[in-house]
Amino acid sequence: MHIYPVTQEGGLNHVKLLAREDDVIIDNLKQLLCHTLSDFIEDLVKDIRWLDETPLPQYFNKLDKFTKDRRTHELIYLLGETNQVLTTDISLEELIGETEDYVARLCLQTTEPQNAIPDVVIWMISGNKRIASCRIPASSLMFSETSRCRGKMCGKFQTIFLTVSNIKEYTGVLMNAHLQPPGVEKLEDLEDQKGGAQVRLLLWLGLEQFQSEWAKEAMGGNVAVYAETYENQAFFVKWGTMRLTRPDWSDAKGKVKQPKEVFVVPDGWKWDGDWFINPELSIAFEADEGLNEWQEDIYENQIRAPFSSWTNDPTKSYWSDVRGDKLIAQENEKEAKELTRDDIQPPEGWRWVGNWQVDKNRACDKEGWEYSIEPGSSGYTPIERNVHLCRHRRWVITRLRLTDPKALEKKMEKRKKAIEEGWEYARLANLPYHLTEHSLDLARRRRWHRKMVAMNEGKPAVFYFEGEKKASTCKKCYHHKYQLRAYLYQARDMYSADKTGLSDPYCVLGFGRYSARSRVVKESVCPTWDQTILIDQIKLFGDPTTIRESPPKILLNFFDKDTIGKAGFIGKVVCEPVVRFSTKDPAPRLDWYPIDRYTKTEGECLAAFELLLDEGGDLPFQPPTAPPPDRHFIVPSGIRPILQKTRIEVLCWGVRDMKRFQLLPVESPYVELECGGTVVQTKHIQKVSRNPNFPDPVVTFDVLLPKEQLHAPPLNIRIVEKRAFGRASMVGTHIIKSVKAFFVEPNAVQQHNKILAMVVKSMTPQLQQTQDTQSIGGKEASPVKYVEDITNAPIAADPDASKGSGFDWWTKYYYSIGDDQRTLEEYVNQGHDRMVVYSHELEEAFNNFTDLVQNFPLFRGKGSRDPNDPEGQVVGLFKGSVKVYPLPDDGSPMPDRIFSHIPSSAPVECVARVYIVKGIALQPQDPDGKSDPYIKIKIGKNTINDKENFIANNLDPLFGKMFEIPITLPTDHTLTVTVMDYDYTSADDLIGTTSIDLENRYLSYHRALCGIPQSYYKQGSNKWRDSALPKEILKEYCLSMNLGEPQWKSSTDVVVDRTIYTLEQFEGDNSERAPHLDTDGSTEEGKKSRVHPDLGADDQRLALHILRERKLVPEHIETRTLYNPLQPGISQGKLHMWVDIFPKTGANIPPPIDISPRKPEKYYLRIVVWNTKDVLLDEVSVATGEAMSDIYVKGWLRGQDETQKTDTHFRSLDGEGNFNWRFVYKFDYLAAEKVVVIKKKEHFYSLDKSETHLPPVLTMQVWDNDLFSPDDFIGTLDLNLLAMAEPARDASVCSVDQLPELGKPDVKLVNLFEQKRLKGWWPVFTEEEGVRELTGKLELEMEVVTEEEHNLKPAGKARDEPNLNPKLDPPNRPATSFLWFTSPWKTFKHIIWKHYKMWIIGTVLVLFLVIFIVIFIYTAPSTIMQTIVQGILPG
């Protein structure tokens, strides 16, 4: 299944073609395209219904079913989208874009994911080599019974071009293959043309069962079968069969003997007529067939005896053709005369152009001779040796075809007679044959045919003879005669084939096997041929209606004519002619055709083509002939554009950045302008290094240009260098493809004069200087003068009266870019100004400041003209402007000239201030993915390198730099801002660069010198910074626009251009446009007090409001993209910046704006950890089994590596801890941005510290201390010092509910920087699965002080000295709070004795009793025995 959006694509192309016309109505085009889309919807509905109703064949697999479903769904989506587009009011461009998208999506659906049929490949074969081919998708040729599923080219005529893979083989065999590329006279021209042969054919691909459909679609002929045999003869005294090397009757190769009698008619067929002579049509045409110009050649031959010299007598030379055959004229049967060069006459219907000349453009000596050992040898060399006995040289002359009908008819009769005889001649039987008999031809043949017709359609067309079989099937078509007329008018922006940047172009037209050549236009890449090329007697086979539907392609090959060497290929155009059957059919129109050179488009050609049926009908009159000596046909009046008198004004302002020419600088150039055949030039510049502007820059000339702007010719701008000894060398060219873009309406001329007058008036101080008094080289720049106050209004005596005087520039910047976090609310509430922040370059918002001058790149050398190509041929810039407008032809007065008021071209000294704010997303250059950027400024010879102030490890650096440079315009016209990456050990890397044309900004009437702010302030951060006051600027504006001076009735009322403006219109009582203070405005005094005291006088503010209504450059920040030449076109980051330009003459220059980055202040955060309560008891005592915790508290500021912690409160049995411990954190704080500035090295191997901005977040955590295992986490608390939870006064009311959380908007928050000191209880918690669990309470006292306050009231860490503010005493902890390992007595007393004293006492008593018993048992026997003995034995 294949669905081709042919109708929709054709309608879309028709709309695009109509959109190029001048008088087209957009609504009509939209209506036409909507009608095409409506037809498209109808086709979609039919396709969807057909897909649903058509049953799937049995052989469909899952992929086929899925493909069908996908296509159905895609069609349904397209149907819905198309209906939505038709019901939506969109522009024509958007409608065309949507339609193109639909066509692309439909074409995507036609691709078969499972293509089982291979594509059709057409090969051009010479010998056994394939030298050219063309591949055609089988899907485009496949036949189907359903018309909607049929290939779009099935059974239709088409013209294809064979692609050549090997040019050298191709050039050697094309002629033998009879597929010489059309439009090429010499095969050598193909060296630079990677093209192929042109073939016109009709293709059909289908199943065998549908073969009968092929016969129906084979229009213009009948299918027939012919028997074929060749009659052969040889020359031996006379023509006959004697010494014949092949059979008398044979096949084309002479290998098979096949006389007429052996052919047997197959069954179901019969003979239709007798044998007849039917020669090859290809040999009936000479090499010059279809050409109007041909180069004839002959060879002068000389022979010498060995060891003798060559003769210089031309009468001793004989003349021959390229094969060495002598030129002989048969005067009678017995006598023949050798011809010389002067005896040769042009063929009938031709005439000589010029004289015979020696062809030295080949391998020969300086006189054109080539040398060989013997005549007729192919081994000729350009170097003479003693063994060479013969030599020859080639003489050439050009002949042109005459348009004499009698000569043409005589030639056709002669050719017809030769064709009727049918003989083909060759030197030998196995060599190529030709029509004309030559003196050395030894073989000839002619072809015989006999037609065979079918009696039964089912029988095969195979006939037999002598046991062999042979079949020959062909399609017998009937031809029609046509006449081709090619109207070649002009071309523009063609490829530069010469080193001068120009070409000598000519066109070779190819149409099938017919060719013609245009005249050569010298030294131009925008040639105007104004030539009609006629080709008569064109034979095309097929029905004329089919030819009209699918006409053969026309191939235009453009070449550069070189005196020495081969013609260089410039490009080609493939197009179709308009087929006309009679003069009543509409004539063609001139149109621009792109000229393709390989894969690029190199210029356009304005031409038209028509193919006229020439079969007895009336043809249009022959076009008029150009005057001698050309005498070519020009484009007739019905085709050529209608001309009108037009004036072209060119402002040739100057040249810039010119490269050297022939090793010398360009110092004295002038401009040469060419348009419509008219050439004018300017005065030359005296010395470019002093002043690159032209002294008399305005050039005006009247030419005849087409009324229809589509046919507008190009404008050639040539820069010619005037050098010593009267030499003039072209050093650069620029081609404006069409002056259509520079057309202005006659009634707009007056308005443009006013605009230019404004430019002149705005530069009045500079006009007072002359070129003689302004010397650039060697003059020291005058010092810059600053003025402290530029207002006449008195400044407030009390500086504190202005509440806005404390705002810095960065407040205004962050407010302008929409950074609410860094914007002061007070600044916003008072309604102060904001700048315009462009997300692109300033030039994009003001049309590149081209209202007075534009930049035109100049090219030189061979190649294409691409200004964006870094390796291209750009050699400089031409600054100027072009205005084109028609002149009245009814006798009405001529319009005023546009460039009648232009500023002086004398140099002007200025001061340029470059403000670099910040970099955005710079490209990393270091291995760690970071960069160390710094700024480098270059303008003219001045270079500023800020390498010392590089910013380490940052891709979004905040530069905050202002660079002030004295410049001289126009010499220092380009400002280049470069961002470099600093490297310690290697050369610095280029991140990106951007360039600004300061001269265009200076000359622009948009007044891009200094941006116009929203309000006029006489002091404060928004103080007026221009060198001229608003009233002065308004006065200049009104005078320059011929509006007269402003009429001031009062300080709040003024009349400008007959319109009354009042201050109340812009700053009404409740207007937000007037900056105000937050005061009560209910009374008159309150209303007056609402106006900010920093604002200037009323008249100045009113003048500023009026100026802001005009399109002047506002106070702004522009975003410029950085590019690297190594990666052209790819953004390397962006810069926020702007440029101010102040002329040194006239008014004083105001002081610069301080945009230095904000400096952070030193702050100290003091935290006293007093107590903890209800801390989760995380451990159990081994000795006692009691729950306990060894509590300590630690904390840190986010981003700092310093973590401080308290001592440990051991053995807290009730969750209470006592510390009296102070944390002191030193940090850098930006109060305006409310961030902490962290500077530290990211890695230990980092060389520089990186700067990070973080919110001031304090983290406090409670931990349980363990001696032999990691400490246990108990709870945490994060406090943002800018918005922290208010503390609880008592621990009993402290809970996690007082902390902020999503869904709790009613939580009260406080700012520590505003409160300065806070004391109370905060909860610590843990969180699991989003649920917070209270794990303790902290009693803290926090204080934020500046460095100065810290020095006045010092406080040490912990309880170290100075232990002040407040003084911290050791905590009164319970006696049970100790570390058992270091306090054994306390351990015994408070743990062991407390819990085990009874056991200890009992154990001691038992121990004493045991000891007593042991002693008793040990001593009792001896005592008893002693007592007994003493009682028995008396003393």
Give pLDDT tens digits for 697-740.
999 999 988 888 778 888 889 999 988 888 888 888 888 888 88
Handedness of CA 149, 155, 160, 162 (dihedral sign): positive
The tens digit of pLDDT for each residue in 1367-1419 reads: 999 888 876 665 655 666 666 666 666 666 788 788 888 888 888 888 888 88
Q: Which residues contact 234 (CB under 8 A, 6 or more apart)?
A: 240, 241, 242, 243, 244, 245, 429, 442, 443, 444
* CA-based radius of gyration for the chain: 50
Mean pLDDT score across all residues of the chain = 80
Judge if the upstream peptide bond of residue 1366 is cis by omega within 30 degrees of 0. Answer: yes
For the cut 90, the answer to whether the pLDDT of residue 344 exceeds it is: no
DSSP string, 422-435: --EEESSTTSPPBS
pLDDT at residue 177, rounded to an integer: 30
Q: Return the axis-axis angle of helices 1098-1108 and 1030-1040, rounded to nearest 10°.
A: 50
Query: Is pLDDT larger for residue 820 or for residue 177?
Result: 820
Cβ(445)–Cβ(438) under 8 Å? no
Query: Model confidence over 1039-1071: pLDDT tens digits?
Result: 766 678 888 888 889 888 888 888 888 887 544
Max CA distance (Å), the chain: 203
pLDDT reading at 141 higher than 60: yes
3-state secondary structure (DSSP) of residue 1198: coil
pLDDT confidence of residue 116: 74
> CA-CA distances (angstroms) from residue 682 to 500, 652, 1131?
21, 8, 40
Can you tell me the distance from the alpha carbon of 884 to that of 646, in angstroms, rounded to the nearest whole number?
7
Q: What are phi and psi of 213, to 5 degrees?
A: -70, -30
Concatenated DSSP letters for 575-614? E-PEEESSTTSPPP--EEEEEEETTEEEEEEEEEEEEEE-
Q: Which three-class secondary structure state does DSSP give residue 812?
A: helix
- Placement of tokens 């006293």 in the chain: 1168
Cα 946 to Cα 484: distance, rounded to the nearest angstrom: 70
Between 547-561, 576-590, 800-814, the lowest mean confidence (pLDDT) is in: 800-814
User: What local confidence, expressed as pLDDT, does residue 993 receive?
Assistant: 95
- Cα gap 1393→1384, rounded to integer Å: 12
pTM of this prediction exceeds 0.85: no
Task: Say what the alpha-carbon torsion angle 1301, 1306, 1308, 1309 is, to the nearest 10 degrees.
Answer: 50
Q: Taking a C-beta distance cutoff of 8 angstroms, is the pair 822, 839 a contact?
A: no
Cα–Cα dist 534/401, whole Å: 11
Query: With the CA atoms of 1150, 1152, 1154 and 1156 taken in that order, what torsion angle do they form, in degrees rounded to the nearest 10?
Result: 180
Per mean pLDDT, which of 53-67, 156-170, 499-513, 801-815 is the most reliable? 499-513
> φ, ψ for residue 644 (rounded to 5)?
-140, 155
Rounded Cα gap, residues 996 and 1003, in angstroms: 14
- Neighbour-count burial of 1118, counting CB atoms closer than 10 A to its CB (0-12 exposed, 13-18 middle, 19+ buried): buried
Evaluate if residue 800 carries a pLDDT over 70. no
Closest CA to 40 of 81, 68, 1: 81
Could you give the count of Cα atoms lying within 13 Å of 70 in the half-sphere of its Cβ? 15
Torsional sign, CA 309, 315, 321, 327:
negative
Encoding tokens for residue 458? Answer: 């089912």
Indicate if the pLDDT at residue 8 is higher than 80.
no
CA distance 246 to 224: 29
Lowest mean pLDDT among 807-821, 904-918, 979-993: 807-821
Mean pLDDT along residues 1304-1332: 89
pLDDT at 1273: 93
Q: Quote the CA–CA distance of 172 and 3 in Å, as a whole number.
A: 43
1145 has pLDDT over 70: yes
CA distances from 1082 to 770, 826, 828, 1077, 1095 (A): 59, 21, 22, 14, 21
Residue type at position 842? L
Q: List the end-to-end C-alpha distance of the chain, in Å, as a whole number.
A: 149
Question: What SS3 class is residue 816?
Answer: helix
